[in-house]
Amino acid sequence: MATQERAIRTRMAILEAAGAVFDEYGYSSTTLTMVLERAQVTKGALYFHFQSKEALAQAVLDEQVQLGTVPPQACKLQEVIDMTFAVAHRLLDNALLRGSVRLTVDQSAPPGVDHSGPFRQWPVHLVSLMEEARAQGELLPSVRPQETVELLVGAFAGIQLMSRALTDREDLGRRISILWGHILPSLAVPGLMPSIDTAPDRGARVTAAMVAV
Amino acid sequence: MATQERAIRTRMAILEAAGAVFDEYGYSSTTLTMVLERAQVTKGALYFHFQSKEALAQAVLDEQVQLGTVPPQACKLQEVIDMTFAVAHRLLDNALLRGSVRLTVDQSAPPGVDHSGPFRQWPVHLVSLMEEARAQGELLPSVRPQETVELLVGAFAGIQLMSRALTDREDLGRRISILWGHILPSLAVPGLMPSIDTAPDRGARVTAAMVAV
């Protein structure tokens, strides 16, 4: 294995371990020693990639949006929907994503960590998909993409928190399905509605399709 | 002042101080000494009312739902809407509510504190209003009150977090208005729509009306 490839793997192993520890203990109670023990790397390897707990937390936060990647869809509104279901599904077992989401909603992160970054990054990503949806005639004329995607991001953050608190996120797919059931009629042109999939298990199917590729 | 009345006032002063400290520092970093200094009460007074930090946090959480009280409305769906706007407005300056909400979304609360209690208590309260709305013919036949109110509570929790992170909750009224703009068409019978008020400043007006009474 080339040196560079090994470095990338080590970095990812550290990020995954950090996600797991941040998810379990929160920012304040996490130490770099806990992370290097979980990642099974040396202190030297950890410090080579991340100089501080702040830098590590920032890197975990910066990974969040790309963990929402889904296969492209002809219907761009379906692709927006798929991202919400994919993130909901991955929150069940992806430690890096879980830790990153916990850091986002954690009010105790220090000034050195931009823990609200994902609240700005998700809308940037989603609004471009919504603009594509608009260009393809999928949206009602009343839709304002920026308002809609910020609503989606905020609502998702709270729904996953509530689902985590009540059922350890077991019912998150169902809750996201209910969210879409309520807001889709305000977004999609009526002719599109029958073909849009917002079933609770959408996330499992979208994710399985990506693994199979 | 009678002894009982004084005890009630002291208890409320402690709860308000605790809310402020929990809001500012989170559960883990809060100490009872910080609370008694903020409340300007003796250690004896604090321990008379609350035997532990867990008990104090639980009491702060238990106050949350009643801080959503709004004047009764002929239209019960409007009353549900008013509660969301009133809570959004009070989050700007009510320290007890702010602390209580932070504890609800705080994943670091210990097992002795039922921090997810509000996620169960709000729906119980809201669903009875939605049933009244249904009985009065305000709702579309497709509405399932339990699903709708759980969506509202979860979405609200995240929207206020996002608003807090991005604007210190300054734009929360606007974000709640956008939430209702998206879901109201899925809830209200069309004839009701023009008379329903979901303007961003609804919370300020509802709260002012209560103070004036």
Asked whether the CA dihedral A199, B189, B202, B99 is positive or negative, the reply is negative
Asked whether the CA dihedral B87, B90, B92, B96 is positive or negative, the reply is negative
How far off is chain B from A29, nearest CA to CA, in Å? 9
The mean pLDDT of A139-152, rounded to a whole number, is 98
Chain mean pLDDT for chain B: 94
Q: Which residues lie below 8 Å from residue A81, measured CB to CB, with a gap of 6+? A: A180, A196, A197, A198, A202
Considering only CB atoms, which chain A residues are within 8 Å of B116?
Answer: 162, 165-166
- Chain B residue closest to A143 (CA)? B182
Q: What pLDDT sits at residue A211? A: 73
- Chain B residue closest to A174 (CA)? B147
C-beta of residue B99 within 8 angstroms of C-beta of residue B22: yes
Q: Does A143 touch chain B (CB under 8 A)?
A: no
C-beta of residue B104 within 8 angstroms of C-beta of residue B64: yes
Segment among A112-121, A154-163, B86-95 with least mean pLDDT = A112-121
Compute the distance between CA of residue A32 and CA of residue A46 in angstroms, rounded to an integer.
8
Segment among A166-170, B71-75, B113-117 with least mean pLDDT = B113-117
Q: Tell me, what DSSP letter sits at residue A188?
A: B
Task: Give the pLDDT band (50/70/90) at residue A212.
Answer: low
The mean pLDDT of B139-168, rounded to a whole number, is 97
**Nearest in space to B118 (alpha carbons), one of A156, A155, A162:** A162
Q: Is the pLDDT of residue A158 over 70?
A: yes
Name the 3-class secondary structure at A19. helix
Q: Tell me, what DSSP letter sits at residue B74?
A: S
Find the helix packing angle between A172-183 and A145-167, rounded to 10°: 150
Q: What pLDDT sits at residue B209? A: 86
Q: Is the pLDDT of residue A143 over 70?
A: yes
Nearest CB to A158; choose among B25, B155, B187: B155
Q: Is the pLDDT of residue A213 over 80?
A: no
Per-domain boundaries in chain A: 2-59, 65-212
CATH classification (class only), A2-59: mainly alpha
Q: Do A182 and B178 touch (CB under 8 A)?
A: no
Chain B from 2 to 61: CB within 8 A of any A CB: 25-26, 28-29
Q: Does A119 touch chain B (CB under 8 A)?
A: yes
Q: Which residues partner with A188 through β-bridges?
A: A139
The mean pLDDT of B97-119, rounded to a whole number, is 89
| CA torsion, ordered A117, A121, A123, A127, to nearest 10 deg | 160
- One DSSP character per residue, A78-143 reads HHHHHHHHHHHHHTTT-HHHHHHHHHHH-TT--TTS-TTHHHHHHHHHHHHHHHHHHHTT-B-TT-
Segment among A1-10, A118-127, B96-105 with least mean pLDDT = A1-10
Q: Do B187 and A186 touch (CB under 8 A)?
A: no
The mean pLDDT of B177-191, rounded to a whole number, is 97
Q: What pLDDT sits at residue A194? A: 94
Segment among A57-71, A134-148, B108-122, B128-142 with least mean pLDDT = B108-122
Compute the distance between CA of residue B9 and CA of residue B1 in angstroms, rounded to an integer.
10
Considering only CB atoms, which chain A residues are within 8 Å of B182?
Answer: 148, 151, 182-183, 186-187
Q: Does B87 touch chain A (CB under 8 A)?
A: no
Task: Give the pLDDT band (50/70/90) at residue A1.
Answer: low
Q: What pLDDT sits at residue B107? A: 77
Task: Give the pLDDT band (50/70/90) at residue B84.
Answer: very high
Give the 3-state DSSP-derived string for B132-151, with helices as H, strands as E and coil as C.
HHHHCCCECCCCCHHHHHHH
How far off is chain A from B70, nearest CA to CA, in Å? 23
Compute the distance between CA of residue A147 and CA of residue A133 in angstroms, rounded to an integer.
15
**Nearest in space to A96 (alpha carbons), one of A35, A23, A192, A153:** A23
Q: What pLDDT sits at residue B213? A: 56
Cα angle B66, B157, B111 (rounded to 5 degrees) comes to 80
Q: Do B151 and A178 touch (CB under 8 A)?
A: yes
Nearest CB to B186; choose among A25, A147, A182: A182
How far off is chain B from A8, nearest CA to CA, in Å? 31
Q: What pLDDT sits at residue A111? A: 77
Q: What pLDDT sits at residue A196? A: 98
Chain mean pLDDT for chain A: 94
Place of tokens 């999928």: A138
The mean pLDDT of B200-209, rounded to a whole number, is 95
Q: How many cross-chain Cβ pairs, A to B, lie less than 8 Å apart?
A: 126
The mean pLDDT of A200-209, rounded to a whole number, is 95
**Nearest in space to A119 (alpha carbons), one of B195, B175, B23:** B175
Amino acid at B68: G
Q: Is the pLDDT of residue A118 over 80?
A: yes
Q: What pLDDT sits at residue A109? A: 72
Considering only CB atoms, which chain A residues are within 8 Å of B123?
Answer: none
Q: Specify the fold of B65-212.
A: Tetracycline Repressor; domain 2 (1.10.357)
Q: Does B157 touch chain A (CB under 8 A)?
A: yes
Compute the distance between CA of residue A203 and CA of residue B205 in angstroms, rounded to an integer.
41
Q: What is the pLDDT of residues B157-168, one digit of tens each?
A: 999 999 999 999
Q: Is the pLDDT of residue A168 over 60?
A: yes
Segment among A44-53, A106-115, A136-145, B193-202 with least mean pLDDT = A106-115
